[in-house]
Amino acid sequence: MSLFLEVVPVAEAVEVARSIAPTVGTEEVGLEAALHRVLAEDVAAGGDLPGFDRSVVDGYAVTAGDTTGASEALPAMLTLKGRVEMGQAPPGTVESGTCWYIPTGGVMPPGADAVAMVEYSEVLEDEVLVHRAVAPGENVLAHDEDFAAGAVVLPAGRRLNPQDLGVLASAGVTTVPVKKDPLVGIISTGNEVVPADAPLAPGRVRDANSYLCAGFAREHGCEAKRYGIVKDDPAILRPLLLQAVEECDLVLISGGSSKDVRDMSAGVIGELGTVLVHGIALSPGKPTIIGRVGTTPVIGLPGHPGSAYIVLTTVVAPLLALAAGAPVPERRVRVRLAANIPSAKGREDHVRVRIEDGEAVPVFGKSGLLNTLVRSDGVVVVPASREGFEEGDDVEVVLW
């Protein structure tokens, strides 16, 4: 067995992962359960919104032409006919030379085409003096100005936020078609791996990656199912992987991906399905596996949590975005680099940094350290074509 990986560029690995994204079904859910779900279809307005012409200020419903030339020195004088009450139809019409008081949100009476604000009006018994001219449509929200009947209120592929739920409710939509949340199966491997609540003996490490992967899956609009810890024995991994690919839309295997005598993940994936990639020109994360068993993608992650997280953000996130139907918005900032970042050509280097006083400060550490994950705010990506960045360079930080 060769101890060397045949690495592919990061961009190629991402495209391979995207090409095997699973297809999930759809379901109808009520608005109370729709937050952060992804719309499976466009949602159209069943009628005009707001559905009636209404005032957007407190003032007087008028015919705009009656206020032409109005000023502080020479106000327009209009007869006050009455008051429009909230939630009720106007009790009359606006004829030339007359007006009706109207509150914010009130229904515009027939004949009125504008609203003169109270701030620029004065009441003298049954007369209203308007000190500023208004144009047709001024301070009025038209009956179809929000959404016309049949217009798309929210498009397919949108991940619903609280504002969206409010708009949908206003449109009379109480259930929506959404993509089902993909189910991600997670298997941890390694003779040295013990449960998170187990005491540590020399040479043992706690199972961090199953929790890391589960949290990452949920953050990206998926559900997670942890299958526990498997020893470095293909005979144990094989049936568990078969169960996971049968039950899940995607499977992540943590550990067992390195090209050494303990490498079993690629062998089992290849035996049950196909290994498409084993090795990416990525640091950290070189021994990553991309494969498929049946129609289910199986990704083999490095065992170290720091490396695994880089692979999750770089390779797995685009795959989950396609499966879930919409990406999680990525946050990026451009800042000055506070110190040199060396890198070897030929690999894409993801260097952890923290943002401090408006600068990106590299968080260097030995490969086995975990603290760099929590002490960093994101990564600076050094392209494979560069030999690093220098202090003072303007760099882009991809935030966690």
Going by C-beta distance under 8 Å and a sequence separation of 6 or more, which residues neighbour residue 63?
94, 95, 96, 111, 112, 113, 114
Q: What 3-state class would DSSP assign to 212?
A: helix
Residue 174, token pair as written in the block: 């109480």
CATH of domain 26-48+149-179: 3.90.105.10
CATH fold, domain 332-399, is Beta-clip (2.40.340)
Strand pairing class (175-179; 26-30): antiparallel
Q: What is the pTM of this model?
A: 0.85
Which H or E run contains 121?
strand 121-124
Q: What 3-state class would DSSP assign to 262?
A: coil
CATH of domain 54-141: 2.170.190.11
Q: What 3-state class would DSSP assign to 346?
A: coil
Q: What 3-state class would DSSP assign to 58?
A: coil
Delimit the domains of the chain by residue range: 10-24+181-324, 26-48+149-179, 54-141, 332-399
CATH of domain 10-24+181-324: 3.40.980.10
Instruction: Indicate if the pLDDT at residue 107 is higher than 50.
Output: yes
Q: Report pLDDT digits (tens) over 261-277.
A: 457 899 999 999 999 99
Query: Do 26-48+149-179 and 332-399 share a fold?
Result: no
Q: Report pLDDT digits (tens) over 20-79.
A: 999 999 999 999 999 999 999 999 999 999 999 999 999 999 999 999 999 999 999 999
Q: Say how far apart CA 91 and CA 227 lie, in whole Å.
A: 68
Q: What 3-state class would DSSP assign to 373?
A: helix
Contact 230, 253 (CB under 8 A): no
